Homo-oligomer: A and B are copies of this chain.
Amino acid sequence: MLSNRQLLILQVIIDEFIQTAQPIGSRAISKKQEVTYSPATIRNEMADLEEMGYIEKTHSSSGRVPSEKGYRFYVDHLLLPFHLSSADKKIISNVFNEDLVEFEHVVQNSAKVLSDLTNYTSIILGPKVFETTLKQLQIIHLSSNTAVAILVTNTGHVEHRSFTIPAEIRASDLEKLINILNEKLSDVPIIQLQERLQKELASILDKYVSDVDTAIQYLKGALFEQQPANLYIGGITNIMLQPEFNDITKVHSLYSVMEKEDVIANVLRSYQDGIHVAIGQENKVHEMQECSLITATYSLAGEQVGTVALLGPKRMEYSRVISLLNLLSTQMTNTFHRWI
């Protein structure tokens, strides 16, 4: 469909625009080493490329700018394998060489490193606690009527909730309840906990514990209400360095949506296995339609548990970013695998 010359010109336009954020003119293209044609020839090809929708003008006599279709084609067909510098590789692997190993910790550091390396904004969706299994459940009394419930998973993740113990539940009953639960529910996937609590265990517990319904109700309330989204955002200010975001209203609308952790978490969750690139309007969240979002998933025991993403202008360094995400998600998967 596209001639080799058109491919070359499209590639040059996008590469150049990614660097400069300025419309590219025929003269500038002609001057590039790999291009051997005169500006006039290039103008003809550019007119064709524009007709096909791969590039656009900002006004009638301006140079050309990639369209979203252009970026899409570039990402799908023109991406050259990018060789990460050994410095970059080292910085990333350093994240995984720390001694105190913990999901949250690794994830947070990864977010920071990723945003520092790219000057984009990194978003990491932490492991879904639901897909891990229960290691231990504990209730620790703070005073006569308050306590904190702690849930530890096999991945070292800790969830906790404080709650007030209603007068009608006896402390000894709560103790018994927890003992039984630990015995019965150890290594059960978190996602099944609620169901198991209700269905299988109610009858058993009934024998030992009085007023089991209320107790379970409170336990559920304590443990499952308001699961936090587990989202880490790094380098959020980087977006303001991009020339396409020197308009405060654009930054404001983007930042407002970034504050809504549940919205962002849902966006990331909607991308499964592998690397995904959403360019501009391809993003469903309206406020992100001036941006590109690149996501990669990481896994634990073969099960995909989280997402690493980078948010930047449509004019992103796709090649480098994809390589970085690839490396990082692989390393995360490897590291977490070792822990089980």
A240 touches B252 (CB 8 A): yes
Say yes or no: A160-B163 contact (C-beta < 8 A), given A152-B150, A339-B143: no
B156 touches A146 (CB 8 A): yes
User: Number of residues in A with C-beta < 8 Å to the partner?
Assistant: 46
Interface residue A136 (Cβ < 8 Å from any Cβ of B): yes
Interface residue A297 (Cβ < 8 Å from any Cβ of B): no
Of the 9-residue stretches A50-58, A95-103, A298-306, which lies at the interface with chain B?
A: A95-103
Of the 9-residue stretches A15-23, A189-197, A243-251, A317-325, which lies at the interface with chain B?
A: A243-251
Query: Which residues of B are found within 8 Å of A152, using beta-carbon distances?
Result: 140, 142, 148, 150
A251 touches B259 (CB 8 A): no
Partner of A251, one of B163, B240, B256, B339: B240
In the complex, residue of chain B having the shortest beta-carbon distance to the beta carbon of A221: B100
Query: Which residues of B are found within 8 Å of A221, using beta-carbon distances?
Result: 99-100
B100 touches A225 (CB 8 A): yes
How far is the CB of A249 from the nearest CB of chain B, in Å? 8
B237 touches A259 (CB 8 A): yes
CA distance A245 to B251 in the complex (A): 12
In the complex, residue of chain B having the shortest beta-carbon distance to the beta carbon of A147: B156
Bitwise interface map of A from 128 to 166 toward B, beta carbon under 8 Å scored 1, else 0: 000000011010111100101010101110101111100
CA distance A295 to B143 in the complex (A): 31
How far is the CB of A218 from the nearest CB of chain B, in Å? 10
Partner of A252, one of B140, B226, B241, B259: B241
Query: Which residues of B are found within 8 Å of A222, using beta-carbon distances?
Result: 100
Interface of A is mostly: mixed
B162 touches A142 (CB 8 A): no
Interface residue A78 (Cβ < 8 Å from any Cβ of B): no
Query: Which residues of B are found within 8 Å of A154, using beta-carbon distances?
Result: 142-143
B102 touches A164 (CB 8 A): no
A135 touches B146 (CB 8 A): no
How far is the CB of A259 from the nearest CB of chain B, in Å? 6
Query: Which residues of B are found within 8 Å of A69, using beta-carbon distances?
Result: none
Interface residue A271 (Cβ < 8 Å from any Cβ of B): no
Partner of A162, one of B102, B160, B162, B340: B102
- Most interface-central of A101, A135, A152, A154 (chain B CB within 10 A): A152
Query: Which residues of B are found within 8 Å of A100, using beta-carbon distances?
Result: 161-164, 221-222, 225-226
Interface residue A255 (Cβ < 8 Å from any Cβ of B): yes
Within 214-250 of A, Cβ neighbours of B (below 8 Å) are at: 221-222, 225-226, 235-237, 240-241, 245-248
Since A99-B164, A235-B259, A247-B248 are in contact, a sample of 6 more A-B pairs with Cβ atoms closer than 8 Å, ordered by chain A residue number, is A100-B222, A102-B161, A146-B156, A237-B256, A240-B251, A248-B251
16 pairs, A vs B, C-beta closer than 8 Å: A99-B164, A99-B221, A100-B164, A101-B146, A101-B162, A101-B164, A102-B162, A146-B156, A146-B339, A150-B150, A236-B255, A237-B256, A240-B255, A241-B252, A245-B248, A248-B251
Query: A interface vs B, CB < 8 Å?
Result: 99-103, 105, 135-136, 138, 140-143, 146, 148, 150, 152, 154-156, 158, 160-164, 221-222, 225-226, 235-237, 240-241, 245-248, 251-252, 255-256, 259, 339-340
4 nearest A-B pairs in the assembled complex, by CB-CB distance: A102-B162, A156-B162, A158-B160, A240-B252
